[in-house]
Structure 1
Amino acid sequence: MLRRYRKPIRGLIFAAITVAALLVPLPWADRTHIHDEVMIARPPAQVFDYVTTPENWPKWHPASLKVAGATDHPLRHGERVTETFIIAERGGVVVWTVIESQRPRTWSIDGMVNGRRVGTITYRLTPAMTPSLTPSAESTRFEREFRYRSPTLLFALINRLTLRQDIQAESTEAVRRLKALLEAPQAP
């Protein structure tokens, strides 16, 4: 009688071990870096003020649905904002905290979802270089970097299979939209 249940019990044990292995926190750091950059025909200070003002995020980033909190000004070090997002068809709410603000050059925010750190976004802005290699006051090289780590093996697998590519595509679309918006004749 016991012999008849050995295979199903072994199967259940194997399945439980597999699920546990997929969901246990990773003992190593599996990090992902999403990087995009674009040249924008606007001065660095103007671009900086626009991208660091959260009420503008839904206008140019496809993942940003709405923002709440301190949204009407460029956020300074220590300020927080709540963003409702959808990334790669997965939605949620993230609380961003500014961890670095050096107007008009660098700005970084750390995100938390349900008390868990989910990643860091950094903007770097530099005056554009003309062919004569002199800084131009009218153009900006805008770089956007999103860094995050995989908390579990399951997340790492999903990230490698689809998530990273989806996030990269959304980030690329975001900087394309930002450039178009800021370079439009009626730009904000």
Structure 2
Amino acid sequence: MKRPLRWIGAILAAVAVAALLALPLPESVDLTTEIVTVTSIERPDSAVFDYVTTPAHWPDWHPSSLSVRGATDHPLSVGEQVTEEFRVAGRRGSVVWTVAVRDRPRKWVIIGKIDGKPAGTVRYSLTPVASGTRFERVFVYRSPSLWFAAANVLFVRARIQQESDEAVARLKKTLEALP
């Protein structure tokens, strides 16, 4: 009689732990991740800025960007939005990006929402250097649950860093190949 009760207790405990791990974290719990990628691009900062802030170009250089729709044919200004279909770390989805900061040609920030919930922030910082432009891309996202936080530590963060590194390398190659 004790053995079946132990199994039931163990199963109930496992279900309770899984439920706790899946619960949304309160906003006061700050489990954010910052992915930073930097490169030097042999192009003027204004040319780099205009290219990277024009969403139609994103699928050309960022492997996670599958398509974009909305205001895609020009460098976006504060308040403008674009919807991007993505595949990040194996997860597909759709995000609405809104431009929060535009200081051409130095800084550009977009804030993403998935289903109306915060999904992350992307910040571009551009600095003129002797050989062209120092380009820094920072992607910041928050773990919505302990389950995601654990997965992030184990494999998601590394995969996103790899995708970001590839994206910025492709951006450099693409821009430096332009006439």
TM-score, length of structure 1 as denominator length: 0.90
Q: Answer yes or no: is 1:155 the counterpart of 2:156.
A: no
Q: CA deviation at 1:16?
A: 1.9
Matches of 1:105 and 1:55, distance apart in 2: 20
* Alignment match, 1:109: 110
* Alignment match, 1:183: 176
Per-residue Cα deviation, 1:79-118 (whole angstroms, up to 9, x for no partner): 0000000011111000000010111000000111111101
Aligned length, in residue pairs: 177
Q: CA deviation at 1:11?
A: 2.1
Which structure's CA Rg is the greater one? 1
Alignment of 1:27-176 (within 5 A): 27=26, 28-128=29-129, 130=130, 139-176=132-169
* Alignment match, 2:14: 15
Runs of 4+ aligned residues of structure 1 deviating over 6 Å after TM superposition are none
Per-residue Cα deviation, 1:40-80 (whole angstroms, up to 9, x for no partner): 11111110000000000000000000000000000000000
SS state of the match for residue 47, structure 1?
Answer: helix
Q: CA deviation at 1:19?
A: 1.1
Matches of 1:167 and 1:4, distance apart in 2: 45
* Most deviating of 103-112 and 138-147: 138-147
* Most deviating of 116-125 and 138-147: 138-147
- Structure 1, unmatched stretches of 5+, are 131-137
Partner AA of 2:138 in structure 1: E
SS state of the match for residue 63, structure 2?
Answer: coil
